[in-house]
Structures are given as structure tokens and as C-alpha cells.
Structure 1
Amino acid sequence: MKGIFFAIIGGGCLTLQGVANSHITQGIGTWKTATITQLTGFIVSCIILMLTRDYHLGSLKQVKPLFLTGGALGAIIIFSNVTAIHHIGVTLTVALLLISQLGFTFITDRFGWFEGKKQEVRLSQLIGIGMMVLGVAILQIA
């Protein structure tokens, strides 16, 4: 239940962040917006880290450098979402983002990328993605 709760909160925040960033971009530009978003996220994370007193950084040595690229990916995510929202709107952007995310997830699972366990893609999963694509097509027509 806790996982479902946080997934819903995360999805809502992702959408609200995209809308907020879209408005910020109109005044200062996309890369400045990505910078501000990453900076404010860093500051809030640092505050939470200090409040929880979980700031032992020695464990960072155990993390492979490849996995430390998440922040860089975050900047690309922000830029891509803001640009997409400007061109195709929030609803279609989020719909395509979810389809893309699931598609990349299947590929990552299938080939065991990033040291993940290799998993077979089931027909039901492909049908589910197909239904999502069909739903986006219907959104475009309506």
C-alpha cells in the first residue's frame, strides 16, 4: 500500500513539475529552468537529508559510477518534458511519457541492463502497452 501511495504522489508531482517548469521556461528558457529545478531539488533533498540525519556519505563508494548519472538524466528529463508540453500539451506529454517509460522498462528487463535481472516480456504486457498506445491515439482524435 505504501508503494502505491508514493507512486501516486510521484506521478502527481511529476505532472505538476512539468506544468510549473513550462511556465518558468516562458520567462527564462528551458535550460535555465532545468538548472533551477535541479538546484531546488538538490536544496530540498539536502534539507531532508539533514532532518533525517542520514548523511553518512561513505557508502557512495559502493555505488558504481554509471548509476551516479541519474542527476544528468534528470536534467534531460526536465528539458524533454518542458519542450514536449509546449508543443503537444500536458495530457499527451504525460501519456507518451508513460508509454515510453514502460517501453524502456520492458527493454531494460528483457536484456538485464543496469545489472537488472533478465525477465521475459509477456504477451499480456505487450497488449497492455498496445492498449495505451491506442488510448493515446483516441486522445488525439477526440
Structure 2
Amino acid sequence: MRGIIFALLGGACITLQGVANTRISTDMGTWQAATITQLTGFILAALILVFVRDINLQGLKQVKPMYLAGGAFGAVIIFSEVTAIQQIGVTFTISALLIAQLFLTFLVDSNGWFGVVKQKMKLPQFLGIALMVTGVIIMKL
């Protein structure tokens, strides 16, 4: 149950972040919006880390170097989302983002990339993805 609550919270925050970034972008520029968002996100995460006192710098040695660049995806995400919202609107942007996430997670799960346990995709998963794509197409029409 907690996983679902956190997933819903994350989804809501993605949408709110996209709208806020688009507003910042209108006044300052898209890369400035990405910079401010990444900076404020870093500050909040650092404050939470200090508050919960769960600092584990030894674990940093265990992380593969390519995974340490994961945060850099945030800049691309912000730029892409802001640009898309400005061009196609919030609803269609978030819908397209979710579909892109589903397709990539399908590839990650079915191929076992990044050390993820391989998952066999069955008809219900394919139908779910197809229904989402169909829903977005209908919504755009």
C-alpha cells in the first residue's frame, strides 16, 4: 500500500513540477528552469538526508560510475517536459511521458537490463500498454 501511495505522490509531483518549470521557463528560459529545479531539489534532498541522518558515504564506492550520472537525466527530463508542455499542453505531455516510461520499463524488465530480474510480459501487460496508447490518441482527437 505504501508503494502505491508513494507512486501517486511521485506522479502528482511530476505534474506539478512540469507546470512550475513551464512558468519559470516563460520568465527566465528553459535551461534556467532546469537549473533552479535541480538546485532546489538538491537542497531539499540534502536537508532531508541531514534530518534523517542516514548518510552512507561508504556505499558510494559500491555504485557503478555509470549509475552516478543518473541525476543528469533530470536536466534532460526538465527541458523535454517544459518544451513539450509549451507545445502540446500538460495533459498530453504527461500522458506521453507515462507511455514512454511504460515502453522503456517494458524493455528493461523483459531484457533484464541494469541488473533487474527479467520479467516475462504476458497478454495483460501488452493490453494495458495498448489501452494507454489508445486512450492518449482518443484524448488528443
Once the two structures are TM-superposed, the CA of residue 119 in structure 1 deviates from its matched residue by 1.9
Partner of residue 73, structure 2 = 73
My pick for the range that moved more, 36-45 or 64-73, is 64-73
Q: Where in structure 1 do 4 or more consecutive aligned residues deviate above 6 Å?
A: none
Using the alignment, how far apart are the partners of 1:108 and 1:130 within structure 2? 18
Show CA shifts across 1:57-113 (max 9, x none).
121001111211211111111111111100000000011111110000001111111
Using the alignment, how far apart are the partners of 1:20 and 1:13 within structure 2? 10
Aligned-partner residue type, residue 117 of structure 1: V
Q: Runs of 5+ in structure 1 lacking a partner? A: none
Partner of residue 7, structure 1 = 7
Aligned pairs (5 A) from 1:14-33: 14-33=14-33
SS at structure 2 position matched to 1:13: helix
RMSD over aligned Cα atoms: 0.9
TM-score (norm 2): 0.96
Once the two structures are TM-superposed, the CA of residue 56 in structure 1 deviates from its matched residue by 2.8
Count how many residue pairs are aligned between Structure 1 and Structure 2: 141
Partner of residue 41, structure 2 = 41
Using the alignment, how far apart are the partners of 1:79 and 1:57 within structure 2? 30
SS at structure 1 position matched to 2:55: coil
My pick for the range that moved more, 108-117 or 80-89, is 108-117
Aligned-partner residue type, residue 36 of structure 2: I
Q: Runs of 5+ in structure 2 lacking a partner? A: none
Using the alignment, how far apart are the partners of 1:2 and 1:38 within structure 2? 26
**Identity %, equivalent residues:** 57
2:126 is aligned with 1:119? no
